[in-house]
């Protein structure tokens, strides 16, 4: 069983009652062990011996009265903490804590100090066990495997811990590989958003414990999820070696509702699977290397992915290069949002965006799409799927993009691939006050403009000169926030609006069905 450890910082000795209450609340939410982070107590010299003894008494009370087993950590400045005691003074402190009458279950000892001093804190018989730790906030430690081997081979080390800042999702593979070869109970994890998989999948790979914060804003390290997030969104307690792994891949990805949606669907279906958000840089090489790592690591049991911007076109290329199947319409569109890894390991890619977008627009018009004149803003994977899908349904599609040449190129490619006529238009041509201007029935934003966490969260794509009427439909594929700047603007002009959540739900339901049917 992988334990769930909640870090609670100790800033002052008079906080002890409130800290014990917080610990009890964390236990009620599912924490199994508490890490008392005592850095702050020793962030500056004490004025007297009495102050030092008072601090030690406060630590003893926390350990004695805690409803959870305790891990005590005094992290130094060199490894991301606040403790300013020199090495000898720190080891003396840890020796006293480890040998208390009621000792903690574990005391954290930085391995760099163990090697520097060629000794460990003194622990009386029956005292705390020692957890050797190493941290790197820049990236993987040099000679990672050797570092772990030195820690794990030391008989004085009960638990070996290494944590580092992930440079990419691919760093997670090193964690899984080391855990598979572990020589003793180990804590191995990557910090940062790219390292989330190592925290969520800790039970799958047999980590001794993983860390989770009490709540948002209370993280002790970058990328640390909350107890509730691990327990509820990712069903941490249900994860085992047999759990199938899925992902939503994009850049950015923090806004995605896919993990909450799909993990709930898996629970409803009784499927032993978990879907994780993976932040993958926008270039082809990053996408290719990450997806290859997920597929090639048999221990992951990777079974599928939801792929969002900017990787929808990358997925088509990847599956084709790996000898998989891309359905005919998706291949012609040149963009896919869904990867299915079949039971025999073969790959299948399709696009549920197209079906979902056409469906919500038809519902909004309360009429067939045939003959409707619709402007689609964007030239990426989402725009490809929607513009192509609408055109196949008989709509008169016009592609608009800030870089007009990209709109022209997309319109030409889709027209050729689908055998339909798709036009391109400049934003400057939207002055529809002229009598000869043919007005649009609908507008679709298929760009990240207006998305929280994106490069332009306050913007919207619709030119001010665009003509809107009460029967004009404005559809924004962005769903975070649900009420985007574009939709607010459209409503102020009297138009009908459709938010991106409706499309998200429809396309996600189709994805979930495909994954479950492939088992």
Q: What is the C-alpha to C-alpha distance for residues 518 and 124, in angstroms, rounded to an integer? A: 57
- Cβ within 8 Å of residue 258, ≥6 positions away: 248, 275, 277, 306, 308, 508
CA dist., res. 354 & res. 384, Å (int): 9
- The residue from 244, 312, 372, 506 that is catalytic is 312
Residue 6 burial by Cβ neighbours in a 10 Å radius (0-12, 13-18, 19+): buried
Q: How far is CA 384 from CA 158, 301, 464, in A?
A: 55, 31, 24
Structure tokens at 155: 């008989």
Q: Do 440 and 468 contact (CB within 8 A), yes or no?
A: no
- Cα gap 34→182, rounded to integer Å: 23
Q: Is 312 designated active site?
A: yes
Q: Given the DSSP bridges, would you call strands 244-250 and 209-211 parallel, antiparallel or unpaired?
A: unpaired
Nearest to 393 by CA among 377, 371, 411: 371
Cα separation, 508 vs 341, in Å, equals 16
- The residue among 500, 163, 203, 515 whose CA lies nearest residue 353 is 500
Catalytic residue annotation: 312
């Amino acid at each position: 069983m992988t334990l769930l450890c909640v870090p609670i910082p100790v800033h002052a000795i008079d906080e002890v009652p409130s800290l014990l209450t917080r610990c009890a609340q964390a236990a009620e939410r599912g924490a199994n062990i508490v890490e008392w982070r005592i850095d702050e107590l020793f962030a500056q010299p004490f004025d007297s011996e009495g102050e030092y003894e008072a601090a030690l008494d406060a630590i003893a009370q926390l350990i004695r009265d805690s409803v959870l087993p305790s891990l005590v950590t005094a992290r130094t400045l060199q490894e991301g903490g606040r403790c300013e005691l020199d090495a000898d003074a720190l080891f003396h402190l840890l020796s006293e804590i480890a040998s208390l009458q009621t000792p903690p279950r574990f005391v954290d000892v930085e391995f760099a100090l163990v090697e520097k001093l060629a000794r460990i804190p003194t622990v009386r018989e029956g005292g705390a066990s020692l957890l050797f730790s190493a941290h790197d906030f820049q990236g993987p430690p040099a000679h990672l495997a050797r570092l772990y081997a030195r820690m794990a081979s030391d008989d004085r080390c009960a638990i070996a811990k290494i944590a580092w800042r992930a440079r990419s999702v691919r760093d997670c593979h090193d964690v899984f590989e080391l855990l598979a070869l572990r020589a003793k109970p180990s804590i191995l994890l990557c910090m940062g958003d790219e390292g989330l998989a190592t925290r969520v999948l800790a039970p799958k790979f047999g980590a001794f414990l993983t860390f989770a914060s009490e709540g948002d804003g209370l993280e002790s390290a970058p990328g640390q999820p909350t107890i509730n997030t691990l327990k509820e969104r990712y069903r941490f307690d249900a994860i085992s070696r047999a759990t199938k792994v899925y992902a939503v891949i994009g850049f950015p990805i923090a806004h995605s509702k896919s993990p909450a949606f799909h993990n709930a669907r898996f629970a409803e279906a009784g499927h032993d699977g978990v879907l994780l958000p993976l932040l993958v840089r926008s270039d082809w090489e990053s996408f290719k290397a990450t997806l290859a790592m997920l597929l090639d690591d048999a221990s992951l049991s990777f079974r599928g992915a939801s792929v969002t911007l900017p990787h929808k076109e990358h997925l088509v290329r990847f599956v084709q290069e790996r000898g998989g199947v891309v359905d005919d319409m998706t291949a012609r569109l040149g963009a896919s949002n869904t990867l299915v890894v079949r039971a025999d390991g073969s790959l299948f890619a399709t696009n549920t965006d197209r079906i979902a977008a056409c469906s919500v627009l038809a519902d909004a018009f309360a009429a067939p799409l045939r003959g409707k004149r619709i402007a689609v803003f964007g030239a990426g994977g989402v725009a490809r799927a929607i513009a192509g899908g609408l055109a196949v349904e008989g709509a008169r599609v016009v592609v608009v993009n800030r870089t007009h040449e990209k709109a022209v190129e997309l319109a030409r490619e889709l027209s050729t691939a689908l055998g339909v006529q798709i036009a391109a238009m400049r934003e400057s041509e939207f002055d529809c006050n002229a009598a000869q201007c043919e007005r649009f029935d609908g507008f679709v934003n298929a760009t990240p403009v207006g998305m929280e966490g994106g490069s332009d969260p306050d913007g919207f794509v619709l030119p001010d000169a665009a003509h809107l009427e009460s029967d004009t439909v404005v559809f924004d594929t962005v769903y975070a926030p649900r009420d985007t700047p574009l939709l607010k603007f459209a409503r102020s002009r009297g138009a009908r609006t459709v938010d991106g959540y409706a499309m998200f739900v429809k396309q996600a339901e189709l994805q979930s069905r495909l994954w479950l049917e492939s088992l």
